[in-house]
């Protein structure tokens, strides 16, 4: 089961973003601005920054998450987001005696295939253990382990990259596991920065259309939108 815990973050993240933004157009410094900003003004500023695309100020707020219970499929997709810092449990240094793995619902829903899936994964793990008993180091024995292998990481991402990554990974055209992971991430951000969390949404909400080949149905694709507009004129 996916577990996400926000283990640390920039104190008062939204206020920090708002104060940083105000510095550019104010005669006073960030310390004074921080004292003067009311919660309403902070919310207003965050909204305006998003609307105007003044995104660099969102880099001042950092969030560090402990992530557990995801597959190596998903961690591989996650670390493609380059503007973040990651530390992942090593399969070189940690020998996986207790082997946990992820089973997609599409597989567990098919009893016969699911049985073979579990059999195959467990057989791979058994061979992994036997190879280590024969003196093969964990870093080499792990080559036999599947993508389904569970992993854990610590990830630090700033608010700008969170907005960007969520725009891609909360999209229902992304794979279910990473969508679920980012839903958990969003829920954690919501606890400390609700205004910011409201901006963690699929890209279509910002675009007003779906830029994938096929829409999930929330918004029409660009082509469907153009057809509609053409029909109206
Ligand atoms: C649905 C889906 C399917 C995908 N399928 C595939 C696939 O089949 N194969 C595959 O290889 N990948 C795939 N990806 C991964 C995808 O191509 C990106 O690598 C990943 O989403 C990271 O996002 P990003 O490139 O926007 O940048 P991030 O690394 O999140 O960086 C954020 C932004 O910073 C800027 N940036 C970062 N690094 C640079 C740089 N070096 N130069 C210039 N600008 C930079 C860009 O504006 C970028 O958008 C898929 C992603 C999604 C969401």
The reply to whether ligand 1 has any atom less than 6 angstroms from the CB of 160 is no
- Cβ of 179 less than 6 Å from ligand 1: no
Residue 73 alpha carbon to ligand 1 centre in Å: 16
Q: How many CB atoms lie within 10 A of CB 215?
A: 19
Confidence of residue 226 (pLDDT cuts 50, 70, 90): confident
Q: What would the mean pLDDT of 87-103 be, rounded to a whole number? A: 92
8-17, 153-162, 210-219, range with the lowest pLDDT:
210-219
At residue 117 the predicted structure's pLDDT band, cuts being 50, 70 and 90, is very high
Q: In this model, does residue 230 exceed pLDDT 80?
A: no
Q: Residues 124-175: pLDDT tens digits?
A: 999 999 999 999 999 999 999 999 999 999 999 999 999 999 999 999 999 9
pTM confidence score:
0.94
Phi, psi of 91 (to 5 degrees): -85, -5
Mean pLDDT for 181-209 is: 96
Looking at residue 233, its pLDDT comes to: 43
C-alpha angle 166-68-9 in degrees, rounded to nearest 5 = 60
Minimal-distance CA residue to ligand 1 atom 19: 80
Least confident segment among 173-182, 204-213, 223-232: 223-232
Tell me the pLDDT tens digit for each residue of 41-76.
999 999 999 999 999 999 999 999 999 999 999 999
pLDDT of residue 115: 98
| Nearest atom, ligand 1, residue 169 CA | 53
Ligand 1 binding pocket includes 203 (Cβ within 6 Å) = no
In short, whether 80's Cβ falls inside 6 Å of ligand 1 is: yes
Residue, of 126 and 93, whose pLDDT is higher: 126
Q: What is the atom index within ligand 1 of the atom nearest the CA of 77?
A: 15
What's the residue count for the chain? 233
Is 41 touching ligand 1 by the criterion CB < 6 Å? no
pLDDT at 120: 98
pLDDT band at 222 (very low <50, low <70, confident <90, very high): confident
Q: Which of 53, 59, 83 has most ligand 1 atoms within 8 Å of CB, for mutation?
A: 83
- Which pLDDT score, from 0 to 100, does residue 231 have? 58
Residue 232 has pLDDT above 70, yes or no: no
- Per-residue pLDDT tens over the stretch 24-50: 888 888 888 888 899 999 999 999 999
How many CA atoms, within 13 angstroms, populate the side-chain half-sphere of residue 180? 15
Buried b (16+ CB within 10 A) or exposed e, 67-91: bbbbbbbbbebbeebeebeeeeeeb
Name every residue whose Cβ is closer than 8 Å to that of residue 204 and which is 6 or more positions away in sequence.
Answer: 171, 210, 211, 215, 218, 219
Q: Do 67 and 3 form a contact (C-beta atoms < 8 A)?
A: yes
Q: Judge whether 161 and 83 are in contact, CB under 8 Å.
A: yes
Beta strand extents in 179-226 (DSSP E only): none
Tokens 């004074």 belong to which residue?
Answer: 32
Q: Whose CA is nearest to atom 4 of ligand 1?
A: 174
């Amino acid at each position: 089961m996916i577990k996400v815990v926000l283990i640390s973050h920039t104190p008062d993240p939204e206020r920090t973003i708002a104060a940083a933004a105000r510095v550019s157009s104010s005669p006073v410094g960030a310390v004074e601005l921080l004292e003067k900003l009311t919660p309403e003004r902070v919310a207003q500023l965050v909204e305006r920054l998003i609307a105007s695309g003044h995104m660099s100020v969102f880099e001042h707020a950092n969030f560090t998450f402990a992530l557990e219970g995801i597959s190596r499929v998903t961690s591989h997709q996650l670390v493609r987001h380059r503007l973040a810092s990651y530390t992942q449990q090593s399969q070189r240094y940690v020998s996986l005696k207790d082997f946990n793995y992820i089973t997609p619902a599409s597989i567990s829903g098919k009893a016969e295939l699911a049985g073979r899936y579990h059999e195959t994964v467990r057989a791979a793990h058994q061979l992994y253990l036997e190879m280590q008993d024969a003196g093969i180091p964990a870093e080499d024995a792990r080559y036999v382990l599947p993508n389904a292998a569970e992993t854990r990481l610590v990830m630090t991402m700033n608010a700008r990259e969170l907005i960007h990554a969520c725009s891609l990974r909360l999209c229902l055209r992304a794979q279910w596991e990473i969508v679920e992971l980012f839903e958990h991430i969003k829920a954690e951000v919501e606890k400390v920065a609700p205004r910011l969390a409201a901006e963690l949404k699929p890209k279509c909400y910002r675009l007003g259309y779906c830029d994938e080949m096929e829409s999930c149905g929330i918004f029409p694709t660009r082509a469907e939108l153009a057809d509609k507009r053409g029909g109206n004129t």
